[in-house]
Amino acid sequence: MSGKKQSRSKARRSTGFRSRFESMTATALTKAKVQWTYESEVWKYTIPAKVHKYRPDFIVTRKDGSVLIIETKGIFTAADRKKHLINKDLYPDFD
């Protein structure tokens, strides 16, 4: 390639990928004999209107490496439940 930068649309036409990094990743996956697809699915998601922060009371790392979140609550309100369900969806690997 010459010293000129390719536009995204030109790169897409010549390689089928949106970026050179994606093309390089596809090459690496193929060389590693990994089965892959490129942009074969579309996932819908909703971005909440406002970013919130959550600070768990206790984080326990189990011997197997999994993580357990312990939240101590005197009263578990509907708002608390909603917050916990949102965080469970965002961080499914945590119990």
Per-residue pLDDT averaged across 69-78, rounded? 76
Tell me, rounded to whole angstroms, the distance of Cα 88 from its chain centroid: 14
Q: How far is CA 37 from CA 10, 25, 29, 93, in A?
A: 21, 12, 10, 24
pLDDT for 45 equals 62
**pLDDT tens-digit profile of 18-70?**
888 888 899 999 999 888 989 887 777 666 777 777 777 788 888 898 888 77
Distance (Å, rounded) from C-alpha 38 to C-alpha 90? 24
Strand partners, 60: 68
pLDDT for 3 equals 44
Q: What backbone phi and psi angles, to 5 degrees, belong to 61?
A: -95, 120
Asked if residues 71 and 84 have their Cβ atoms less than 8 Å apart, the reply is: yes
pTM here is 0.39
